[in-house]
Chains A and B, each alone.
Chain A
Amino acid sequence: MLRIKSLTMQNFGAFKGEQRFELPQDEGVTVFYGENMRGKTTLLNAFRFALFGKIIGRGRRSVSFHDMINWEARADGVQSFEVRLILSHAGAEYRLTRTCKPKSGHNTPTGHEDYVADYYLERGGHILPPQQAAMEIERILPEQIARFFLFDGELLQEYEDLLYSDTDMGPKISQAIERILGLPTLTKSRDSLKAALDRAEARVALAAQGDQKTREYGNQLQNLVEERTVLTGDLFRHEKALEDLRARKVAIEDDMRRKQRMATLLEKRDRLTDEVAGLLTEIAKKQEAITVAMSPAWAAIIVDKLKLALTRHLKREVELQSTVMRAQVLQSLSEGHDPECPTCLQIVSDEAQTKIRAHLPNADAGTEDDRNRELASVRRQIDAINAQLENTNPEVLRLLWTDFEAHRRSIYTKRGEIEEIKKKLSGDSEGEIKGLQREYESNVRQTAALEKGIAETNDKLLENAGYREKLQKRLDKLAGSEMDLERRRRDLANTLYDMFNESVGVYREQLRRRIEADASSYFKRLTTEEDYAGLRINDTYGLTIMHRDGSDIPMRSAGAEHVVALSLVAALQNNAQLRGPIVVDSPFGRLDGGHRARIVETLPEMADQVILLVYEEELPPARAREALKGRLKSEWTLERKTARHTELAER
């Protein structure tokens, strides 16, 4: 039974200086009351950090060590934090101390990468060597299942993700659950017996080679045994490599999540840089257009005078045109070119012609030419003035300038943003992020290649097993008594292997049934919905709510997820060879009062030691005392000293 005795924090998160609490050693519940942002989740993270060196924030993001140093302490020059956990397990007392401090040579750390976390573990007062310490922690509380004991209501999504078999972590978590339920004893036995069977077969082959009658089969069998050894070795290496790749992939994804903010900043920077380049091109075009528009712009000053001149010229044109036309018509009539008057269409008599001739002005060709020249000149001037007026449009120039200025302001603003982003990017963020992306892609490719290779090796092993079986049968028919002992040894190893192999499957099913039954029992106690009959378990320990008509409830609300997760935790606690405390942060989340009451009543039965992290509106102290009665062992408050300084106080 794993029990927490005390936890001590030094400048960890909101907890400034040294903060410590001890837990009662008898069974029951300890409640920590704290308002939002007082450090409840930090307390949960203190356990995680002590045990695994990890700190998890919202959205499953890893939290930077730099950000976990108490802010006020950091302002005073403190550059480290520490958590010490004292616990007991299987009759031994352990003291686990984990410290985070700047790496050597990093005198002014600014980010997570500038820190290193180290730990030491004492058992019964003796410090354990690092490898043994790591194995001991893994034995006490394997990290993959710690999430079922260090339970954060805000991280429920993790529960769903972890228990779907198509995620990389899903099978690992299933294995971890089975581990705490005792299955490894059987699986390890089975694997050892498989190895014993292989050795026995190798001895049969050796014995067969010693007999002339069976030598040929013996040689063939020996070759197959050697081939199997090689294939098995390859398979083991590939599976180990695949496991390492999968673990590395999870770590890369963690890193990428942590650097997501940097990636977003880089993307924004690149976008702004492209926009600035586009604007610069636009500005160049505008400048060109302005230059063209500027040359006639001077005329804008005299545009009114030009318009007046145009009016005068147009008037003069009309006058000259009339005069010219009148003279032409009269001349034509006086000379009799046209017998009809162009106006009244009557025949012009000789007498009228004589009168017209008498009234025509004495103009010579020169006067008429002068008039025509003047008319042409006036028309040219009119055209010139019109052209000038057309080119002189101050509105166009004004719009061009407005656009030009707007673009310049926009460039200035965007360049300012780019500079701000550059300040926020630390180190070689771009290089790191691109490096991570390349590594991730390479990891995916290697994983696919390994999976393919493993499948092919397994096919070859199956084929090899088939050939060996045939050869064994032929050998058995031919072999004499000198091979008898080896054959019997092989047969017994084979029988034992078959028996343990079958037992693994049977026991696994029994375990699932047991978890299903216990989880259902807890679920029915925790839920207020009468139509829910219980829970159904799948191959990866995922749980589905069952309606009393036997159908599944496929979709779950966050509240329902809460209740299901608590039910699984309780069932695992009930059945685990490893038993330990539950530390629950915000266990009520979006649950209504009815569910909350049921959880409070049921929690003490889920584990011997239950630590609740809540705020008072969530679980009023009076209600907690009334519901838990003698099972409530101690109460603490996370007291605000300042916005960045919390202290633990026992009530």
Chain B
Amino acid sequence: MSDDARDNRDATVADTIERIRAEKFPDVDRDLVLDVLRFHADGVVVDHVDRQIDEAIAERLKGDD
């Protein structure tokens, strides 16, 4: 296993994905990532999660325009 894994073993899900976003996918909007995570949080039942994600993506693209 990598040393990164050892060094970051205590990181939360949100911390982990934010680290990867910042290092490798800096152009991806941070809030969009958090939205996606929120739609799939444990114990959360989101109606029409597919549509929610499509709308979140479309919203970000509109913002870019």
Name B42's contact: one of A184, A489, A511 (CB within 8 Å). Answer: A184
Nearest-Cβ distance from residue B53 to partner chain A, whole angstroms: 5
A196-B50, A499-B24, A506-B16 are contacts. A514–B10 as well, Cβ < 8 Å?
Answer: yes
Contact among A185, A493, A495, A499 with B13 in the assembled complex (CB-CB below 8 Å) = A185
For window 48-65 of B, CB contacts with A under 8 Å fall at: 49-50, 53-54, 57-58, 60-61, 64
**Residue A584 at the chain B interface, CB threshold 8 Å:** no
Residue of A nearest to B20 (CB): A503
Known: A196-B57, A499-B20. A513 touches B50 (CB 8 A): no
Instruction: Tell which of B9, B16, B21, B24 has the most Cβ of chain A within 10 Å.
Output: B9
Contact pick for A510, options B5, B37, B40, B41, CB 8 Å? B5
- Is A186 close to B, CB under 8 A? yes
The range of chain B's interface size is: 35 or more
| Cα of A493 to Cα of B32 in the assembled complex, Å | 11
**A503 shortest CB reach to chain B, Å:** 5
**CB-contacts of B1-59 with A (<8 A):** 1-2, 4-6, 8-13, 16-17, 20-21, 24-25, 27-28, 32-33, 36-37, 39-43, 49-50, 53-54, 57-58
A65 beta carbon closer than 8 Å to chain B: no
**Given A185-B41, A510-B8, A513-B6: A192 and B49 interface contact (C-beta under 8 Å):** yes
Docked pose: A488 CA to B59 CA in angstroms: 12
Partner of B5, one of A182, A499, A502, A506: A506
Docked-complex contact A507 and B16, CB < 8 angstroms: yes
Nearest residue in B to A512 (C-beta to C-beta)?
Answer: B1
Closest beta carbon of chain B to A20's beta carbon, Å: 31
Would A492 and B25 be within 8 Å (CB), given that A499-B20, A510-B9 are in contact?
no
Contact between B43 and A139, CB atoms less than 8 A apart: yes
Residues of B within 8 A of A506 (CB): 4-5, 8, 16, 20
Q: Which of B2, B4, B5, B11 has the most A CB atoms < 10 Å from its CB?
A: B5
A101 to chain B, nearest CB (A): 34
Which residues of chain A have C-beta atoms less than 8 A from B6's C-beta? 513, 517
User: B51 to chain A: closest CB distance in Å?
Assistant: 10
Residues of B within 8 A of A426 (CB): none
The secondary structure that dominates the B interface is helix
The 8 Å CB contact of A188, one of B1, B12, B40, is B40
Interface size on A, residues (CB 8 A): 36
**Distance between Cα atoms of A489 and B61 in the complex (Å):** 7
Residues of chain B within 8 A of A195, CB atoms compared: 50
Which residues 478-518 of A sit at the B interface, judged by CB distance below 8 A? 485, 488-489, 492-493, 495-496, 498-500, 502-503, 506-507, 509-514, 517
Nearest Cβ distance between residue A319 and chain B, in whole angstroms? Answer: 114
Q: How far is the CA of A189 from the CA of B33 in the complex (A)?
A: 10
- Bitwise interface map of A from 170 to 201 toward B, beta carbon under 8 Å scored 1, else 0: 00000000000011111011001101100110
A196 touching B54 by the CB < 8 A rule? yes
Nearest chain A residue, comparing its CB with the CB of B41: A185
Given known pairs A506-B5, A507-B13, A513-B1, the reply for A192 and B42 (CB within 8 Å) is: no
Q: Of A193, A485, A499, A577, which is within 8 A of B53 by CB?
A: A193
In contact, A496 and B33 (Cβ under 8 angstroms): yes
Contacts of A489 in B (CB 8 A): 57-58, 61
Considering the complex of A and B, which 7 residue pairs feature the smallest CB-CB distances, nearest first?
A509-B5, A513-B9, A514-B9, A188-B40, A503-B17, A189-B40, A510-B9
A-B contact sample (19 more), CB < 8 A, given A185-B42, A493-B57, A513-B5: A139-B43, A182-B42, A185-B41, A186-B37, A189-B36, A189-B39, A192-B40, A192-B50, A200-B57, A485-B61, A492-B28, A492-B61, A496-B28, A500-B17, A509-B5, A510-B5, A510-B11, A511-B9, A514-B10
A: residues with CB less than 8 A from B are 139, 182-186, 188-189, 192-193, 195-196, 199-200, 485, 488-489, 492-493, 495-496, 498-500, 502-503, 506-507, 509-514, 517, 577
